[in-house]
Structures are given as structure tokens and as C-alpha cells.
Amino acid sequence: MKTTAADSRLVFDTVSVSIKNKDILHGINGVANSGELLAVMGPTGSGKTTLLNVIAGRIPITRGEVTLNGKPMTKALRRRVAYVLQNDIFLSNLTLYETLYFTAMIRIPDTVAHSEKLARIDEIVDALHIRGCLNTIIGDFMVRGLSGGEKKRANIACELLTDPDIMLIDEPTSGLDSSTAHTLMQQLKGYATTYNKTIIATIHQPSSQIYHMFCKLLLLVNGHTAYFGEADMALTYFDNIGLTCQPNYNPADFLYSSKCILDISTINIKDADREDQRTTRRWPTGFWTQYRMLTWRNYKQSKGRIFERYESAQSLLMAIIGGCMYFQIADTLDTFRDRMGAIFFCVVYWGFNMMLFTISGFPGERVVINKERRAGAYRLSSYYLAKISSELPLLIIMPIIFFSIIYWMSMIGGVSGFFIFIGINLMSCLLIQGLGHIIGALMVNIRHAITVANTIMVGSLVLAGFFNTHFPSWLFWAKYLSLVHYPMSAMVITVLADTDPTPCNQTTAETFEICKTSEFLTGKDILMSVGIDLPIHCYLSTMAILIVLLKIMGYYVLKWKKG
């Protein structure tokens, strides 16, 4: 269950922040003790979120410092801090329960028993009154899911699960009706006092009932401290400087309406009470727990996208159309163009599909991953490995169905060639997926990412050299830059290499150079004529190396582009 936190004292001492030459915070002072609810109030744009970001270590401080029990806030100390952002960031396809389950399993340390983790979910679900929507998906702008208020509580529930000692909450009551807002603040206050936790919440114009729950108040105006101290004493303070709140008037409304001229409070910060004895591990859970839970969640999140009804129907339709177009091709050399056409169709259709699928998965995921990684929830390596492996079975099922339909309808390589055909096509999918991961991770703007991906794909088709009888000799190397060249070459070799030679006078062979000097045309002659001049193992091993290299590069790109 939840632990009672040791006494702590979080101090922000003359904190100033400038971003892009704009001064946002000007020497803010404040203290938040354990067991207290500190409210940060102020008009919009006064710097409330910036202050939370500073405490959470998300933006650098220009001057001043933030300390916990007298020690500067290091990365390790920040692991005791949970930050509930103003925006509710989740993976949309998971239900609320799945989201909480994932968070509990991955962020509550491995030392806590599974049953206790489940009990903690139960307890928080009841405390935040979200049991009724546990099986509702989170949803997004396309698919309706949790309401705004439910999402807000889900967001807080996820952070509460980790049993943090200090909670920073940006606008916990925004979007909630007054009764839900009141209950939520009551629960947060109860959490702080019962478990000796520290809560710092920014809040816009609270009701007077909520206002009286605050232990301390920090009032910001244009990035300056207008008041810091006991919330109950704020009105007395303003009364003393000639700004009097009328009886029965909501103190929060008064504070916003009164001209709280900059008056920087001087706070007497006492020495830190007690040394922090708590050990802070780098990650709450081990690699395998992270890998297992991330694989599970990623599977849940991507399943809907991979087996999307329209896209699956499109793939089946395309496979049948392709199968009809290349139906039962004879195993002779004069059909080589048809067989190359069928192979080309498979490689290109799944090349584009795989690329778009991989890239389009990033925008929704990126913000969630960044949020969780900032909170120190898991290693990048476990996330990346989980992403690759969880998508794998899902990514190959539809392509295998597609390739099987085409193969058996067209019979381009005989019965024995089926598994080789499927294998090479799947390698091609993996190759493109690897590149898609890199582009998706590199480019935040989805339109830019799609443009780059299309350029690479179309460039690969042109450079592959299969549809060009006068390929410039000085550009002979360009085909090796084409992603399409490798799988197509390998497949064309498997379907043509062993075909019986055919007399030159029985085919469209007159177009082949060899027929001017020879009576027979062989599969090898055809391969050479389309630029396939290496043995099959060269193409296959190059693809295998590229797949591994692209996966490794994808990891480093993600690492480099974090945040």
C-alpha cells in the first residue's frame, strides 16, 4: 500500500527563468513541506506551469536553485517527484484499466508483490471515483473514449500509483465540474496529510471551499511573487497593505480581482529538517518487467491499427486483384515479365504500406514515451526492443496472407519456392520497417516524414533498374542504393534461375542481346539483362545486415531525439 513519506522540505530559492531572452520568472521564493498542499495561483501567463517545470527539472534555471532537504535537486532526487501535466497524455487504444495496470506493473518496484500492485490500483480507482469507466478506452479525437474529467483523474491516478513523495499537478481541476473538482482536491489534500506527502498544484480561480483546503499559497503575477505564505493569512496580508476582501467574497476571486502589486515575500527558510535516507534506484523495475509490460501494451495499442478493417479489406482485395492479373503464370522464360510484375507488386505494395504504417505510429506514441521516460519509468532499450518484437507478429500476419494469395494464384515459383518467396518478402518488410522507425523517430512533423519516406520509396523504384533498358553505365552503382533492388533481385533469381533454357525463336527473345549469337536464352541471361549480376546470397546477406544496422540506428536516433 502507500507509504508514509519521511519529512521533507522542498525549497525554491530566488528562482529566475529566462527563455529566448524573455524573463518569465523573477526570483521566486517558496517552501513546500511534507504533509502540505501548496497552491500556485496567478492569472494566465503568470508563470505557474514554468515554475512546476523548473521544480521537475524540465527547464533550466537562469538564477537561484531548487533544493530538497537542503540538497540540490539531482536526477535521483527527482525520481521521488511525480508530475501530472496539464495535458492528459495517454495511448488512445488502451482501456483505463489497461493503462493503470501497465503503470502499476512498470512503475511500482519489482519488490512489491503483484497482488499488492493490483490492490493499489483498486484503492486509487475507488478514491478517484473512476471505477465506472475502467473498461472504457482512453480514446482520441477520432474515437470517443473517456471524458475530459475522467482523463484528468486517470492522469492523477497513474501518478498516484507510483506513490510519489512529492506531486506536482498542473491544473488538476480544469475541465471538472465544481463538485468533482472539490472531491478531487479533498482526495489530494487527504493524500498529502495522511501519507505526509507534498503536493504542489497550480490552480485557476478555485471555489472558496477549495481555497480553504490549501495549506500554503504562492500567488504569481507576471512572473513575480505577489504573495507566499499560509493560505489563511493571505487576506490579512493584503488587508495590511490596503487591499481588503469583502466578507463572504471568494478569496480566490478577490486575489485575482485585486491589484496584487508585485510584493516579493521574503521567506525565512530554515535548515533542512532531516537527511533523506531513502534509496533511489535508477529504475523502479528491472529490464524484463519493463520489456514484458511494454510489449504487452504496445501490442494492445497497435493491434487496432494493424488489423484496421478497411486496411485489411484493402490488402485482401489487392491480393485477389493481383492474383487475377498474374493468374497461373506458366513456368517458362517467356513469362519472365509477368513474374517480375507479380514480385514487383508484392514488394512495392508492402513497401509503401509498411513505411506509412511505421511512420504513422510515431506521433501519438512519441508524447507518451517522452512523458514516461522523463518520469524515469523505463529504459529506452526495453521500450525499443518491446516495440520491435510486439509489432513483429502483427506486422507479418497480414503480409503473409497477402503473399500467400498472390503466390498460389499466380504460381510464380512452383510449390517448393513458396517459403522462400514469403521469407524474402518478409525480410523486405522488416527492412522498410527499420527505415520507417528511423524516419518516424527523426521527424516530428508527420507531413515531412511522409514526404521523406515517399521520396526514398519512389527513388528506390526508379534506381532499382528493372524497368530501364538503357540504364546509364556511369550510374551502375545506383541500384545498390535502392531498397527494392535487394528483395526483388533475390526473388527474381529464385523464380527464374532454374527455368529451362528456351529457344530464341520461341520467345520475345529477339530483344535479348544473347539471341544474336546464341540459339537459346537462359534464366541467367535474363537476370543479367535486368542488372541482377550477383549470387542470391549476396542480396540476402546485404538485406540481413541492413535490417540489423537500421534497427541499431533506430535506437540511437530515438536516444538522440529524446524530449
Ligand X SMILES: Nc1ncnc2c1ncn2[C@@H]1O[C@H](COP(=O)(O)OP(=O)(O)OP(=O)(O)O)[C@@H](O)[C@H]1O
Which residues lie near ligand X (CB under 6 A)?
19-20, 22, 24, 42, 44-50
| CB closer to ligand X out of 53 and 298 | 53
Question: Pairing mode, if any, of strands 166-170 and 198-202?
Answer: parallel
- Residue 223 Cβ vs ligand X, minimum distance, rounded to whole Å: 7
Contact between residue 48 and residue 54 where contact means Cβ atoms under 8 Å apart: no
Shortest Å distance, C-beta 228 to ligand X? 15
The helix or strand, by DSSP H or E, that contains position 304, with its residue range, turns out to be helix 287-306
Instruction: Give whichever of 17 and 527 is closer to ligand X, judged by the CB atom.
Output: 17
Write down the least CB distance from residue 227 to ligand X, Å: 15
Quote the least distance from Cβ 173 to ligand X, whole Å: 12
Return the C-alpha cell found at 11: 525549497
Instruction: Note whether 117 and 105 are within 8 A (CB).
Output: yes
Select 60 or 535, whichever has its Cβ closest to ligand X.
60
Sheet holding 9-19, edge to edge: 22-33, 9-19, 63-68, 71-72
**C-alpha span between 237 and 510 (Å, rounded):** 100
Nearer to ligand X, 124 or 201 (CB): 201
- CB distance 529 to 494 below 8 Å: no
CB closer to ligand X, 216 vs 437: 216
Please identify, using beta-carbon distances, which residue of 95 and 202 lies nearer to ligand X. Answer: 202
Report, in Å, the least distance between residue 30 CB and ligand X.
Answer: 15
- Residue whose C-alpha is closest to residue 484's, from 333, 345, 298: 345
d(CA 140, CA 542) in angstroms, rounded, equals 41
φ and ψ at residue 412, rounded to 5 degrees: -75, -20
* CB closer to ligand X, 44 vs 268: 44
CA distance 360 to 366: 11
CA separation for the pair 29, 219 (Å, rounded) = 11
Return the C-alpha torsion angle 531, 537, 541, 544, nearest 10. 90
Q: Which one, 5 or 176, has the nearer CB to ligand X?
A: 176
Q: How far is the CB of 18 from ligand X (least distance, A)?
A: 9
- The continuous run of DSSP H or E covering 26 comes out as strand 22-33
CB of 539 to ligand X, least distance (A): 49
Least distance in Å: CB of 8 to ligand X? Answer: 24
The dihedral of CA 380, 381, 386, 387: what is its sign?
positive
